[in-house]
Structure 1
Amino acid sequence: MTMRLRTLLGDHPGTAALKNGTIRSDRVAFDFAEYSPTNKGFKPMVREQAFDVAEMAIVTYLMAKSFDKPMVLLPDVVLARFQHGHALHNVKRGRLAPADLAGKRVGIRSFTTTTGAWLRGILANDHGVDLDRIDWVTFEDAHVAEYRDTTRRAPTGKQIVQMLIDGELDAVLGEKADHPDLKPLFADVAGEEKAWFARHGVVPINHMVVVSRRLCDERPDIVREIHRLLAESARAASSAPRFTAQEMRRSLELITCYAAQQKLIPREYAADELFDDVTRPLLEGMPK
């Protein structure tokens, strides 16, 4: 009998074959929920366990784990990218570099976004920026309700990019824009990314896939089938993220380090701690 699963998956190269039915299974069927953007579905997954299978920002998962939310991580990456190009400033108001951020107003959609955590980690660890000296301005709550956000909230109705254009913010993290006055905070994005990768050997993971703990406990065979289908769908797309087991561990351990430094989670986790007895062997079975 086919098991139907409530599923949240965005449109990515590695999910296309699964979502369009090219890759299918006689054991599971996916009922795809429609959220645009996909990250709007993360909150109901964390707070209400709205899905059996869900795409999930890795920092949201780390925070959810720290509060024992009933979700289990699969070793399937659907979005990974270098982050340096997602920090902007307004050149019309003068050149700004990472070293100049102390005392500046920096906007970010939510303080707990994964791109924000990666960028703050890069700023602090690779550029010596004191994150506590930045005036953080946010626009949304965390997906994890228990997290206490102490940042300054932008006025109701304000838009992050427009505030940067209007001079109400000095820089923003986690955004891209084609406005002529807005340029990357890192002057040589490609050079910075290349040098960062040479230092760390890490491709930053943004989104992975989780399943409900109940599904993992009751039907580990179905969880293994979900992973098989996700992996097959990813292999069908040349531009899908590619990670060996060790590359995935390095990326996960670096973002847990950054998240702990930023007090998003109470401690660092080893990569293997992020999986359970059903999903950890799936990671171990990946190419080394």
Structure 2
Amino acid sequence: MAEPVHLKSVLGTYPHTAALKSGALRSDEVVLDFVAVEPVHKAFAPMVRRAEYELSELAIATALQAKAYGKPIVVLPAVVASRLQRGCLIYHRGHGPVAPRDLAGARVGVRAYTQTTGLWLRAHLAEDYGLAAEDIRWVTSDPAHVEEYADPAFVAHFEGDASLPDRLRSGEIRAAILGNDLPEGDEFAPVIADHAAVDRAWYATHGFMPINHMVVVSAEAARRKPQAIRAAYALLKQAAAAAPVPADGMSRAAFGCSRLWDAVELTLATCADQKLLPRRLSVDEVFAGAEEILGDLGA
């Protein structure tokens, strides 16, 4: 029997990837050689700028920008991180209450304008309150992972290295968007007070969660190791199927289904509205190259 093919890989640790990362789930065809990157978003720039890894988790906004700017990656129809987003927009109680419409003309912090949680929060503010991206003064710490992309003119950059919670405490910004690093305790509160109910209604209407991260492979790996990538994709699906069902019953992973296509289509439209792409992409362009590896796009 032939030796399994190795793929240099980066994935976050989630219930639906834990079996892969622990080695409990294996394949005779492929070995995922995991590189530890914490937080996982620090792997995104190396992936799109110099194809540092053969298989990697990647923020969907970064993946779409990479495709638009001709970076050598192939996006697989595999979502490994998604969430309901409205609770990620917070303010500091010490400076008085903040409602969504109070953000018009206000300074709002986010790690990067291209951060996917920010993408979805801006979409929700437009959908629910009529606030366009340019109606708010966005302030960021980090540039885009894709070097060719420049933030729109209505986005500024912080001076210094203070954290977003500290900038909220000082009153430098009115609100901030955080993701997995949301602070705990009563010091901060969500700007959208009924975020959980509104998010659940959004999910019921759309039938999917807003995508945060997908899985991509380098074009070189796609060319040289297609069978190993097929095996890796099968492992990802198997691990997700075996993972415990989330308490809310809403899956954070998705693979090769019509709802995934709907989710990507909505993300593309949202990116266009927020000036995140140099041109509009089609869903076929996003997944170009994946069908040759996976057949019927892994359905």
Bin of the TM-score, shorter chain as denominator length: over 0.9
**2-side partners of 1:4 and 1:277: how far apart?**
20
Q: 1:202 aligns with which of 198, 208, 213?
A: 208
Quick check: 1:75–1:283 contact (8 Å CA) kept in 2? no
Residue identity (%): 40
Change (3 A) 1:234 1:262: same
Query: How do residues 126-275 of structure 1 correspond to structure 2 at under 5 angstroms?
Result: 126-149=128-151, 150=153, 151-175=155-179, 176-239=182-245, 241-243=252-254, 245-275=257-287
Partner of 1:12: 14
Structure 2 letter corresponding to 1:100: D
**1:65-106 C-alpha deviation (Å, 9 max, x unpaired):** 110111111112111110011100123222212112111010
**2-side partners of 1:153 and 1:50: how far apart?**
27
1:36 and 2:49 aligned: no
**1:253-284 C-alpha deviation (Å, 9 max, x unpaired):** 11111111111113333333311244375564
Quick check: 1:55–1:207 contact (8 Å CA) kept in 2? yes
Name the count of aligned residue pairs.
286
How far apart are residue 198 of structure 1 and its match?
Answer: 3.7
**2-side partners of 1:63 and 1:110: how far apart?**
14
Change (3 A) 1:156 1:282: farther
Q: What is the TM-score with the length of structure 2 in the denominator?
A: 0.90
Following superposition, which runs of at least 4 residues in structure 1 exceed 6 angstroms of deviation?
none
Change (3 A) 1:277 1:130: closer
Quick check: 2:80–2:254 contact (8 Å CA) kept in 1? no
SS of aligned partner of 1:18: helix
SS of aligned partner of 1:95: coil
Quick check: 1:253–1:269 contact (8 Å CA) kept in 2? no
**2-side partners of 1:129 and 1:45: how far apart?**
33
Q: What is the TM-score with the length of structure 1 in the denominator?
A: 0.93
**2-side partners of 1:123 and 1:283: how far apart?**
36
Q: Which runs of 5+ in 2 are unaligned?
A: 246-250
**1:32-60 C-alpha deviation (Å, 9 max, x unpaired):** 11111011011101111000000111111
Partner of 1:104: 106
Quick check: 1:234–1:241 contact (8 Å CA) kept in 2? no
Quick check: 1:83–1:115 contact (8 Å CA) kept in 2? yes
**1-side partners of 2:76 and 2:266: how far apart?**
18
Structure 2 letter corresponding to 1:220: P
